[in-house]
Structure 1
């Protein structure tokens, strides 16, 4: 993820705000304290032990260290015993997005010896439900982790796939990638044509296939699955019998589809704007750049940084962003916890952006945090001064689109920040020294 001189933090602010709201929905928060009586964190962390017979160990694999630390603190405030290291006193191992076999392998790798009788291995849903009522809930079959689905289980699962996506588990590994890609292409094409009902039908069918722990091999298997209409079945029948769908291939090679997909990939450009440009005869990014069109600030940035904004972000880059954000928010709010969200939280190795949520053990402490951090990250005063220097000292205009020389009546080429400083005749100042 690249952070340039003229960074755009609007999306980050909106994303974090949404995640803050989501966090309040998914994790129980302590009641707001009366004004003038802030809680004593030291006392909270040493809450009386209410359930000594239960020893919880949170598996860090796919959960992440920050989220694990937050959940551990939350459990202790409810009177649960949480062990930092796996030992013989552990009775409940809690995992997120892992199978039982993966948990056992992870424990053995860290303990240095074969794990014998592993205690109850549960999905994190048991943990969150227990935190919601501040007591251990009764363990149900759905809470247990399984090693591998058996053939009988696969048949039963094939018959009993829930209608709603929120009722079913969808593994990160998609066993039906080529089928879901085809259906999602048709969903996108229908969306470009403003046929939202048809688009939703294809999307729902793809979602069901994505949840299956096995690959589709026969058309008859669809009979027991929800969400498949005659059109979706016909597409899959063609792919199963012929290896491809003529309809999908026609869409992929359609000039209209390819153009609208290209234009909607520009940050700040929606379907209506993309279709209007298509109707005006525009087909490429160069066509758009050559037009004397008035783009808004977001669209200008999206066109200027198109390649960079559409480049996938890797997991190591996302981890670096998490570390950076953790350091930044701790400066403004000690005790703040930053956790990767979105696709990376679900275990993906790459994504289009980096989402994260910010939490704090005390409700209300996060008020005003986001704006303070965003202002600090954007070095706003330094940027304003750079623009002011360009206008008054060099007769140039510096904005998010380009550096324009008013005397030459031309934009100056700049491929990096150093080029901008060079055009202005200034010594390059690295970002770490712009805390003006």
Structure 2
């Protein structure tokens, strides 16, 4: 019988909460003249709760309910008019409290005291100068934009992507999508942004994203981004979710148990499933980038396995490498056969062949659960992939990798790849148990099998671009037989276009016309774009 945990003591916010993160322990109020209230609107309940707890740990008074005692109202992604409208809806309406952006709060937490309130900390008013000419113009849908790998604003997009990742790890997908869309707009711009006024009128750039951009352009860095980077919680989430088989929810549970590092996890006695044990064992390898040469080497092995059990089958390298990227975090392959139905039962045979040859360090296979309904997909359209799929950790020997490099790359490119590999090596070279350098590395590989009738849709969906890592908790649970596609921004935008503009339902399996009440067949990506009334965009220009 598991004993009950001691109940956590939390004092009332109305009385000047001095709660701590340890049961029974109180942090004295260090700044009695400062009473904070965090506005939940657009911040989200879980983020507000986390930030409130952080403020109290630092010795600030944080009220749960707005009252006349409040001296500082902390807002996120709200303009002044919006905050005042909310305040008027509360008791009393009028207040002399400072209306401050979240940047003041994060800087104060970092300093351990209330920092001086500057103009940039104050909630901004929305001002639009109609006389200003827009410097850039881009469509609101990412699937209408051509986005190459040439990004002229990496400092800005990296900052927004980090905030998106933090939101996603905090189970705040809405905020994450907003940051991802903002970053995607900046990636599509043909020039470097030097002033916020250049972004006037552009879609998907909300107040929060614009404040982060302004902070970087004016001060060289975003205080919120820097605060997030230094957050112990964010760093712990990054480390723990970097383990194959561990998603945000599992990582959150471990953090609540006091686990913040791999060493602490190993010493904790936590029960790990098979995927997590493999992920922990091969952590260093799986954190290293996978090169195109390594992907090609694995592709040759996969092709040999597939054609040995089903001659005539087709294998396509998908994901970021199909979009022209030189490195990635994993390697994905889409497999089909020109004759419908011949692909049934293929995956177990391929996996058996790879295991017999010693190529798999770990594998989990899910079955195809897709059924085409006569009256079309569920509404709203399901964003679930139900293909037969194998999640694996591949054992790639040095000679296999070297063979692909020598075949594909001239000597000068091989030197460049070797230098890249050395530069990204985060630690000493792994060694075999018997001593000496190890002659292989572990690589994440996903195999997806599609019927030929669905191949074009699967190819489109699996090419990306990828918005974020898919929650591994969902993928690798024993009960999980599907993969959410929410991680593909370009595909997400295609589905949004299909639903909002064309009254259609698009998935990685099919396209359904809700007006006509029938499926629209396609044998190529170009046909799908035509059905949607869009100009075809090649994979190399889908790097949203």
Question: TM-score of the superposition, structure 2-length normalised?
Answer: 0.41
* Secondary structure of the structure 2 residue equivalent to 1:355: strand
2:166 to 189, 201, 225: 189
1:246 to 218, 223, 229: 223
Residue 238 of structure 1: how far off its partner (Å): 0.9
Residue 365 of structure 1: how far off its partner (Å): 2.2
Task: Say whether 1:375 aligns with 2:352.
Answer: yes
Q: Could you give the per-residue CA deviations for residues 291-326 of structure 1, whole angstroms, max 9, x where no partner exists?
A: 111111111111111111111111111111111222
Task: Say whether 1:288 aligns with 2:265.
Answer: yes
* 1:270 match: 247
Task: Say whether 1:177 aligns with 2:184.
Answer: no
Q: After the TM superposition, which residues 142-157 of structure 1 pair with which residues of structure 2 at under 5 Å, given as runs? A: none
* Secondary structure of the structure 2 residue equivalent to 1:356: strand
1:316 to 275, 282, 293: 293
Residue 288 of structure 1: how far off its partner (Å): 0.6
- Counting strand residues as a fraction of each chain, which structure ranks higher? 2
Runs of 4+ with deviation above 3 angstroms = 380-383, 414-419
Q: After the TM superposition, which residues 216-365 of structure 1 pair with which residues of structure 2 at under 5 Å, given as runs? A: 216-365=193-342
Residue 184 of structure 1: how far off its partner (Å): 1.0
2:180 to 203, 223, 235: 203
Residue 221 of structure 1: how far off its partner (Å): 2.0
Is 1:339–1:356's contact at 8 Å kept on the other side of the alignment? yes
Distance in 1 separating the partners of 2:358 and 2:187: 48
- Counting helix residues as a fraction of each chain, which structure ranks higher? 1
* Secondary structure of the structure 1 residue equivalent to 2:151: coil
Distance 1:382 1:255, change over 3 A: closer
Q: Could you give the per-residue CA deviations for residues 115-169 of structure 1, whole angstroms, max 9, x where no partner exists?
A: xxxxxxxxxxxxxxxxxxxxxxxxxxxxxxxxxxxxxxxx99922x222222222
Distance 1:247 1:319, change over 3 A: same
Distance in 2 separating the partners of 1:382 and 1:192: 32
* 2:40 match: none
Is 1:171–1:213's contact at 8 Å kept on the other side of the alignment? no
Task: Say whether 1:416 aligns with 2:393.
Answer: no
Distance 1:336 1:223, change over 3 A: same
* Secondary structure of the structure 1 residue equivalent to 2:236: helix
Is 1:162–1:168's contact at 8 Å kept on the other side of the alignment? yes
Distance in 1 separating the partners of 2:250 and 2:299: 34
Distance 1:380 1:324, change over 3 A: closer
Greater relative contact order structure (CA < 8 Å, 6+ sep): 1
Distance in 2 separating the partners of 1:217 and 1:322: 43
Distance in 1 separating the partners of 2:233 and 2:177: 20
Instruction: Tell me how many residue pairs correspond in the alignment.
Output: 235
Q: Could you give the per-residue CA deviations for residues 385-421 of structure 1, whole angstroms, max 9, x where no partner exists?
A: xxxxxxxxxxxxxxx9xxxxxxxxxxxxx953768xx
Gaps of 5+ in 1: 1-154, 384-399, 401-413, 420-436
